[in-house]
Amino acid sequence: MSHELLKITGFATMLLACGPSHNVETVPQTTASVSVPGPTAEQAPSLKDLLAKANQDPVLSEWQGQYGGVPPWDKLKPSLFPAAFELGIAVLKAETEAIANNSEPPTFANTVAALENAGRHQSRAETLFSVFTSNLNTEDVQAIDREWSPKIAAAYDAITFNEKLFARLTAVYEARNSAGLSAEQKRLVERTFDMYVRAGAKLDAAGKKRLGDINQELAVLFIDFGNKVLADENTWVVLEKKEDLAGLSDSLRSSYAAAAKEKGLEGKWVVMNTRSSVDPFLASSSRRDLREKVWKSFKNRGDNGGANDANSSITKIMSLRAERAKLLGYASHAHWRMADTMAVDPKKAKDLMMKVWPAAVARVGEEVKDMTAIAKKDVKNLVFEPWDYLYYAEKVRKAKYSLDQAEIKPYFALDNMIQASFFMAGELYGLSFREITGTVPTFRPDIRVWEVTDKASSKHVGLFYGDYFARANKRSGAWAMGYRGRESFTGKVITPITSNNNNFQKGGDKEPVLISLDDAQTLFHEFGHALHGLLSEVNYPGLASTPRDFVEYPSQVHEMWVLTRPVLDKFALHVETKKPMPQALVDKVVASSQFNTGYTTVEYLSAAIVDMELHTLADGNIDPDAFERDTMKRIGAPKEVVMRHRLPQFNHLFTSDSYSAGYYSYLWSEVMDADSREAFTATGNVFDKATADKMRKFILAPGNSTDRAEAYRQFRGRDPEVTALLKKRGFPTK
């Protein structure tokens, strides 16, 4: 049982909004396999029967087939999960009770390693179901999720609160320095013990009872919040006539027509209420009235009153989080959540954000001034509004850099960019990808699968699944998820299975899917998460998940290779001419790379600041709309830019605890990302082998088996410098 599971209070925690679920990275094999004692029949008379039954259940049983076994999507349907959860929890309980009641003195092997080996059946069930809740979240799935999430939360709390189990764990922890443990094993003991304490293992009976109630209530609230937002995202704006298409490229018109056809509105055009559909419209449409309509529909998700209004869910979540933090002895929810991060103290995260914020706000002022000068030629006495920003930014981009996004998009065919990401992985890390779609089960016909091997040895590394297109009942955005993590501590090497999930709009019949440069960078970003899992050499599952403010770093740094010449020459081929993107166009893109960074930084950073301000409140007592509005005013946020995720739709914060008080992580990680890019570019070779080998050895492979700050120092020779981030965004460095 990976100890990360002890923190689950709803299936949403199985995913990172922009990262792998179990951040299944890897570590060189420094530890010999451990003989993990299993419970005897005398210790748990029913366990043998439970295991026999679980091993026959398609949801719970070990995965079969090639590649170390694959998810049995061809055998699964939502109705199988309730019975599987009931049985899986029973097995988990019996396994952990056997560990807790072991009559032998507590040791690393019979306590900590045994816990690592327990709960596999239930873990498989939760992993499979989390794919349903993210990718196939139909009404029957939502109903099962709402019923079982609090029950599963209670099951993990029962493990945390088991006094006999914690006493054994405490004994191993106290003897860790004299038990002959390796550095990796000692770290696992310390992290496991600390996690149990943070989860309430030291509370008295009344405290445990109240904490358990809070966790169960939160599990339901997280699901309700996500379902409300999903319902609002499953709406659209209809473009009724050709005049409504003014300014849109042929490829956009085609994708909106395809979306309309899918909705039974053939002959019309549909802008879905998701970012991948909305942002291109806002950047292209010359119809200001329709831009306003589309923008308001998108930004008001979860904030429209009625059954899908998410504000009441936020209010309850915040109150319960504050109560839980106080119960556990923390000043606020942020202090509790950040205790196991690189930043540790909310003040450090705030300080970093406020180093960047003033320069970003100033840059927005410059950008709005430039755009207003052009906009007033179109609309006299224009009052610049947020739905004008992307549209006029493109006009300024074209005027300043002779660069039109429509000129770039034909070079980024989705299939080519997928292959480009594989090429990057091959050049940097020696990985090879062979498509095996159709030979293993998938949960939809359009899911693609690749076997990943090592080029030099042809040895199997893992599997990679891709779910690339938007559809109803699929959460918005882009994310990575690990289906299975790498481990070896039992003596058997288990290879990773990971996935990427996007929401690209399909083109018309037989037309190639064209994506924007931003979409291509998002694809490489998520693929960076997948590489983090595929390159794992972690021995113990409990050392797989890295701190929240580290996990985005490996994904962000891999975005840099999209615009490198080797990638462009092979894969950025014009959809019609088949010629690679010319250097003159690349130069324009690079010259404009710091263009509009005021907008992108303020849009993101305002959301991160509001998140931290929200979760450092001791009592959590807020009105979400008022708090958002007042905080934006207090920090001097420009009115022309709205938070990237307004609170009523902020899934990162309110579908789990995962990113709460953690949205700053993207900025914290970007400091390391920007500094790491300089490590590659300084060599004069973007695929420099020595630098890539160090990246793999210290950053990607070890998971959390070593301190991540020290790992960065081993890679770079020093701590990361924030000046690299400021330079990357084009802000003053002093």
Helix 275-284 × helix 288-299 angle, to 10°: 160
**Domains and their CATH numbers in the chain:** 3-230 (1.10.1370.40), 236-299 (no CATH), 410-591 (1.10.1370.40)
pLDDT of residue 246: 97
Indicate if the pLDDT at residue 331 is higher than 60: yes
Structure confidence at residue 404 as a pLDDT band (50, 70, 90): confident
pLDDT of residue 46: 86
Angle, CA 622 vertex, CA 619 and CA 628 arms, to 5°: 130
pLDDT of residue 392: 96
Residues belonging to the active site: 526
Could you give the percent of the chain with pLDDT greater than 70?
Answer: 94
Indicate if the pLDDT at residue 563 is higher than 90: yes
- β-sheet bridge partners, residue 435: 450
pLDDT of residue 677: 95
Spatial CB neighbours of 112, under 8 Å, sequence gap ≥ 6 = 169, 172, 185, 188, 189, 192
HSE-up of 88 (CA within 13 Å, CB side)? 29
- Look up residue 328 and give its two tokens: 């556990």
Q: What is the pLDDT of residues 586-599, one digit of tens each?
A: 999 998 988 999 99
DSSP secondary structure code for residue 494 in this structure: B
Spatial CB neighbours of 607, under 8 Å, sequence gap ≥ 6 = 643, 644, 645, 650, 663
Q: Are 379 and 387 in contact (CB under 8 A)?
A: no
Q: What is the pLDDT of residues 457-493, one digit of tens each?
A: 999 999 999 999 999 899 988 999 999 999 999 999 9
**pLDDT top residue among 116 and 505:** 116
The distance from CA 338 to its chain's CA centroid, rounded to whole angstroms, is 17
Indicate if the pLDDT at residue 713 is higher than 80: yes
In this prediction, residues 142-159 reach a mean pLDDT of 97
pLDDT of residue 605: 98
CA distance 202 to 585: 61
Reduced to 3 states (helix: H, G, I; strand: E, B; else coil), residue 514 is strand
Indicate if the pLDDT at residue 12 is higher than 70: no
Structure confidence at residue 508 as a pLDDT band (50, 70, 90): confident
Indicate if the pLDDT at residue 166 is higher than 60: yes
pLDDT of residue 23: 29
In this prediction, residues 363-390 reach a mean pLDDT of 92
What CA–CA distances, in Å, run from 477 to 15, 222, 233, 503? 12, 18, 11, 6
What is the average pLDDT value for the chain, to the nearest integer? Answer: 92
The letter for the amino acid at 558 is H
Indicate if the pLDDT at residue 181 is higher than 60: yes
CA distance 297 to 303: 10
Q: Are 288 and 251 in contact (CB under 8 A)?
A: no
Structure confidence at residue 1 as a pLDDT band (50, 70, 90): low
The distance from CA 424 to its chain's CA centroid, rounded to whole angstroms, is 21
Q: What is the pLDDT of residues 222-257, one digit of tens each?
A: 999 999 999 999 999 999 999 999 999 998 999 999
pLDDT of residue 476: 87
CA distance 307 to 312: 10
DSSP secondary structure code for residue 46 in this structure: T
CA distance 211 to 323: 9
Q: What is the pLDDT of residues 60-103, one digit of tens each?
A: 999 999 999 999 999 999 999 999 999 999 999 999 999 999 99
pLDDT of residue 28: 30
pLDDT of residue 244: 98
pLDDT of residue 382: 86
Q: Is 217 exposed, middle or buried (0-12, 13-18, 19+ CB in 10 A)?
A: middle
Q: What is the pLDDT of residues 514-554, one digit of tens each?
A: 999 999 999 999 999 999 999 999 999 999 999 999 999 99
Among 36-50, 273-287, 606-620, the range scoring the smallest mean pLDDT is 36-50
pLDDT of residue 381: 84
Q: What is the pLDDT of residues 183-198, one digit of tens each?
A: 999 999 999 999 999 9
Q: What is the pLDDT of residues 204-230, one digit of tens each?
A: 999 999 999 999 999 999 999 999 999
Helix 517-534 × helix 414-429 angle, to 10°: 40
